[in-house]
Amino acid sequence: MNNYQRIVFPLFVVVMAVLPTLLNPRWQAVAITFLIFSVVALSQDIVLGKAGMFNMGQALFFGMGAYITAILNYKFGWPILATIPLAILLPALFGIILAGPIVHLRGDYLLVVTIGFNIVFVQVLQNNLGGVTGGPNGIFGLDSLSLFGAKLTSQLAVYYFAFAVLLLTLWVMRNLEKSKAGRALHYLREDQLAAESIGINTRIYKVFAFGLGAGISGLAVTVYATQYAAVSPEAFEFIVSVLFFSIVLVGGSSIPGVMLGVFVMFVVPEIFREFATWRYFVFGFAMILAMILRPRGIWPATFGKIPKYLIKGGSHGA
């Protein structure tokens, strides 16, 4: 058991459980934003950090889940809670379908394609597809989330719901790391040719990573819709995908590193609010500095190398 499992994670849970009781409503809202974007950043970590694929379109899946929730709630009267399964499954399915024809691309080529899909998605929303997306203004007036007949209208209630979603995401991430699929993704990140040489079907695992990452980002939108009661195209533009891509790179593709990146990007500017407009400049400079001084990120993940005896000894299907 490493220090993260033994000390850091339990301490994080205790601090985050107590924290909102010590904060005023404004800072509770900031903490909720941190929780929401931590889930989205972790979903990006599956594709970029675990599988090593240059996906810069994660905001597409986040936005798709958000609009599914908004349309079902606002247009068809579904309770927010009832939209959760579709907000997860439809982005995951779209991620799988999207990944199928593009996962053979590598590096910059994959990057450009995912950027293109993100831009097209935002344009579709702005053009009010089918008359249901609300155009540039989006959809407003979403209901609050209801649990057991009680509406989560207070910041404190929304915070604990968001915290529960983050804990669920961390549980999925931790189990993924220990699973056969997680090991295959790690090997894929380290050396795709070597992974293929030991019988890992890299295409299947790439598609799996896209689907799982898309589904988890869809989970985050339930909290997003509850907190903001609105969705609009500008919240899912290409620059948002760049942001999550950068967070994973700077964080080092580890769970603590990714969450530290979210903290720096979304919480620190609120602490120094008069400098909030410099957010992207500061984070860009920090990214350059981190890549020079710590090429594997601030808190790098530990990826096991593919054992040489496996490469030499042939393949088993994975």
When pLDDT is averaged across residues 92-108 and rounded to a whole number, the result is: 89
Per-residue pLDDT at 179 exceeds 80:
yes
Per-residue pLDDT at 107 exceeds 80:
no
When pLDDT is averaged across residues 46-54 and rounded to a whole number, the result is: 89
Residue with tokens 């993100």: 118
pLDDT digits (tens, 9 = 90+) for 276-314: 667 667 767 766 776 676 555 555 555 555 555 444 444
Q: What is the pLDDT of residue 316?
A: 47
Q: What is the pLDDT of residue 189?
A: 84
Per-residue pLDDT at 85 exceeds 90:
yes
When pLDDT is averaged across residues 33-42 and rounded to a whole number, the result is: 95
Q: What is the pLDDT of residue 299?
A: 55
Residue 76 in 3-state DSSP? coil
Nearest C-alpha neighbor of 28 from the set 162, 184, 205, 210: 162
Q: What is the pLDDT of residue 290?
A: 66
pLDDT digits (tens, 9 = 90+) for 58-71: 999 999 999 999 99
Reading the block at residue 182, the tokens are: 């997680």
pLDDT digits (tens, 9 = 90+) for 241-272: 988 998 888 877 788 889 988 998 888 888 87
Residue 146 in 3-state DSSP? strand
Per-residue pLDDT at 176 exceeds 80:
yes
Contact by Cβ (8 Å): 201, 317: yes
**Mean pLDDT across the chain:** 85
Burial class (CB in 10 A: 0-12, 13-18, 19+), 63: buried
pLDDT digits (tens, 9 = 90+) for 217-228: 998 988 888 888
Q: What is the pLDDT of residue 39?
A: 96
When pLDDT is averaged across residues 36-57 and rounded to a whole number, the result is: 92
